[in-house]
Amino acid sequence: MDQKITPDIVCMMADCVINYLDFRKDKTLEFTGKDIWDFDYFNNIIKTAFSKPDVKEESAKHEYDKIIQQPLKMLSYAKVLKCEKWGNTNNFKVNNYEILEYISLKELNSYKFLAIYLKKVLTDSALISYFEKFKNENTPNEFAILKEVFENFIKKYTKIKKDYEPKRIFTKVLNTFAANNNIHGTEKGRYSDKKIVFSDLLYNKVNWRDIGKDKQQTRQMHELEQSEKMLQREAINKYYIEKSIRIIKRMHKKSELCDKYAVGDATQVHHIFMKSEFPSIASYLENLILLTPTQHLSKAHPKNNTTKVDTDYQLLCLLAKSNTIRLHLYSTKSEQRKYSKDDFVFVINTGLNVSIDNSISFDDLTNFLIEKYRCAD
Task: Please tell me which of 167-176, 205-214, 297-306 the model is most confident about, judged by mean pLDDT.
Answer: 167-176
pLDDT of res. 215: 43
* Range with the poorest average pLDDT among 48-57, 140-149, 180-189, 279-288: 48-57
pLDDT of res. 44: 85
- Give yes or no for a contact between 74 and 53, defined as CB atoms under 8 angstroms apart: no
User: 53 or 320: whose pLDDT is higher?
Assistant: 320
Mean pLDDT on 165-190 = 96
Among candidate residues 1, 5, 18, 81, the one with its CA nearest the CA of residue 243: 18
Mean pLDDT on 172-196 = 96
pLDDT of res. 333: 85
Mean pLDDT on 37-63 = 75
pLDDT of res. 163: 85
User: 37 or 230: whose pLDDT is higher?
Assistant: 37
Averaged pLDDT of the chain:
89
- Give yes or no for a contact between 237 and 280, defined as CB atoms under 8 angstroms apart: no
Contacts of 165 (CB under 8 A, 6+ apart): 154
Q: Inform me whether the pLDDT recorded for 61 exceeds 70.
A: no
What class is the 1-105 domain?
mainly alpha
- Give yes or no for a contact between 64 and 34, defined as CB atoms under 8 angstroms apart: no
Domain ranges of the chain: 1-105, 240-376
Contacts of 177 (CB under 8 A, 6+ apart): 115, 118, 119, 122, 131, 135, 185
pLDDT of res. 328: 96
d(CA 141, CA 153): 19
pTM equals: 0.82
- Give yes or no for a contact between 41 and 14, defined as CB atoms under 8 angstroms apart: no
